[in-house]
Amino acid sequence: MEQEELLPLLYRIGRGEQQAFASLYEKTHGHLYAVLLKMLRQRELAEEALQDAFVQIWRHADSYHRGRGTVLTWMISIARYRALDIIRYKKVRPEQSLEDDISIGDNTQINDEKTKLYHCIEELDNDQRQAISLAYFHGLSHEQVKHHLGSPLGTVKSWIRRGLNNLMRCLSL
């Protein structure tokens, strides 16, 4: 999904054009819903979050600026924060059958811009990568990551903290 395609739509949405909003939904809802479904695991909750996210996008289209990343990055942030709110207030708990799809390094569809991030992710220790991935994709708290991996809380916190620190160091090289 290209920024060149989404930015003009967002600009028109800022002017209140409903058709542009429908086009933006058409082009992005499948991806946003995939992100939300992974975090919330229940279709009903993911649909609620998707709905809330798009209402916010409609209302705050004017507040987007390049500092937020691409339009899609900005939209993903809005959707993820809404999902985290739902997890918090509805006390959503991860299912025991949570898959270990922590292979954020397994990506064959990346372009040059994303290569560095994936390279840096691959540089992380397995434990760090796994803990970060469970938190990011599945919305797990430190406590839930601890439960899922069967490791002490302090160790899990340390994996995440050091993993993010290593990631930042690698990205800034």
Partner 1 sequence: MNYLNRERRHALAAEYVLGTLRGKARDRYKKLLMEHEAVARTTWYWERQLNVLTSPLPAQSPSDEVWKRIAARTFELQDTQTKTDIEKRSSAKPGWAMWGGLAATFILAALLLWTRLPTPEDITPSAVAVFNNESQAPLWLVEISDEQLVVKATRRVEEQRSKDYELWIVPDDNSAPVSLGVIPQSGVWQRPVHPLITQNNVKALAVSLEQKGGSPSGQPTQVLFTATLEST
Q: Give the binding site for partner 1 (CB under 8 A).
A: 14-16, 18, 21-22, 25, 29-31, 33-35, 37-38, 43, 46-47, 50-51, 54-55, 58-63, 65, 67-69, 72-74, 76-77, 80, 84, 88, 104, 106-110, 114, 117, 121, 132-133, 135-137, 139-142, 145, 160-161, 164-165, 167-168, 171
Three-state SS for 31?
helix
Rounded to a whole number of angstroms, the minimum distance from the CB of residue 120 to partner 1 is: 9
Radius of gyration of the chain (CA): 17
Nearest to 99 by CA among 141, 38, 159: 38
Can you tell me which residue has the tokens 């916010």?
A: 56
Nearer of residues 73 and 155 to partner 1, judged by Cβ = 73
Exposure string of 46-65, with b = 16+ CB inside 10 Å and e = fewer, is: bebbbebbbebbeeebeebe
Nearer of residues 95 and 101 to partner 1, judged by Cβ = 101
Nearer of residues 95 and 153 to partner 1, judged by Cβ = 153
